[in-house]
A = this chain, B = another copy of it.
């Protein structure tokens, strides 16, 4: 359920120690509930998660939030904006203490052009994300909650993070009330 990209994490570790590259990379720490990226903001940086977990969500005009994904180690953030030269499409908020590698958007594009391994890792990151979001969208449109929920609960058990009901329902695209109801009906007590 929490997506990671260990290949990119490893690569960033190397780059952050590399002679010519380490000066471009800094570290940043965030506490729980702090926001790394705010929707509609102009971004100067691209981030790669070193440790911790974030939620990435979009806020629509009717004030409702939709959580696109929970992302962990090695996941790339802000690359969309760096490549398209647009403002942020979603908000990124820490749900555990977080450490990220940061590099400027300009540096990011420079790395893309000059470091083949980095370029490849970013391409892979992007196609994986397309797949994942597509599959999630499809699943959530074509199955009922009753079919999706058990799988999700299964996945949740292997995570040691406490997701709030609010977060789970925003991830599923339903109201908290519906989530509660379904949990009760299926006999699930704790999350």
- Please report A residues at the B interface, Cβ cutoff 8 Å: 58, 60, 62, 64-66, 68, 79-80, 83-84, 89-90, 112-113, 116, 119, 122-124, 126-131, 133-143, 173
In the bound complex, residues from chain B placing their C-beta under 8 Å from that of A128 are: 84
In the bound complex, residues from chain B placing their C-beta under 8 Å from that of A79 are: 127
Number of copies: 2
Contact of A58 among B66, B116, B129, B138 (CB under 8 A): B138
In the bound complex, residues from chain B placing their C-beta under 8 Å from that of A138 are: 58, 60, 66, 68
9 A-B residue pairings within 8 Å (CB atoms): A58-B138, A66-B138, A66-B141, A66-B142, A68-B134, A80-B131, A89-B134, A126-B126, A141-B173
With known contacts A123-B112, A136-B137, A131–B62 Cβ distance under 8 A: no
